[in-house]
């Protein structure tokens, strides 16, 4: 049985979160699209893989995203769950 796009996205997100937890920037870099759009819980956006990697290097591993979009098997768009009010 072939994996669905949702299964593929869940797998890539799990691998990315594992790489974040292990501080494995090399693996994480391969999983993130160069033109990545990352939306933080406060609604602010970071664009570009290098900028996202820099931000993630000083943050805790984020929760599973509210939404994710893949391009060419890499995370192109990651939307964090919004902050609770």
| Number of domains composing the chain | 1
Residue 11 belongs to what domain range? 5-79
| DSSP-based helix, strand, coil % in the chain, nearest 5 | 40, 25, 35
DSSP state at residue 24 = -
Spell out, as residue ranges, where the chain has pLDDT lower than 50: none
CATH number at residue 18: 3.10.450.50
**Is residue 84 included in any domain, yes or no?**
no
61 in Cβ contact with 72 (< 8 Å) = no
pTM score of the predicted model? 0.91
Q: How many CB atoms lie within 10 A of CB 32?
A: 22
**Is residue 38 included in any domain, yes or no?**
yes
pLDDT of residue 8: 93
Could you give phi then psi for residue 5, rounded to 5 degrees?
A: -55, -35
62 in Cβ contact with 16 (< 8 Å) = no
pLDDT of residue 6: 86
pLDDT of residue 69: 96
């Amino acid at each position: 049985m072939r994996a669905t796009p949702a299964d593929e996205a869940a797998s890539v997100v799990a691998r990315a979160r594992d790489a974040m937890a292990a501080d494995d920037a090399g693996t994480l870099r391969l999983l993130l699209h160069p033109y990545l759009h990352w939306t933080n819980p406060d609604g602010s956006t970071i664009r570009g893989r290098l900028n996202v990697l820099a931000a993630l290097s000083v943050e805790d591993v984020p929760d599973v995203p509210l939404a994710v979009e893949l391009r060419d098997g890499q995370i192109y768009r990651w939307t964090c769950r919004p902050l609770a009010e």
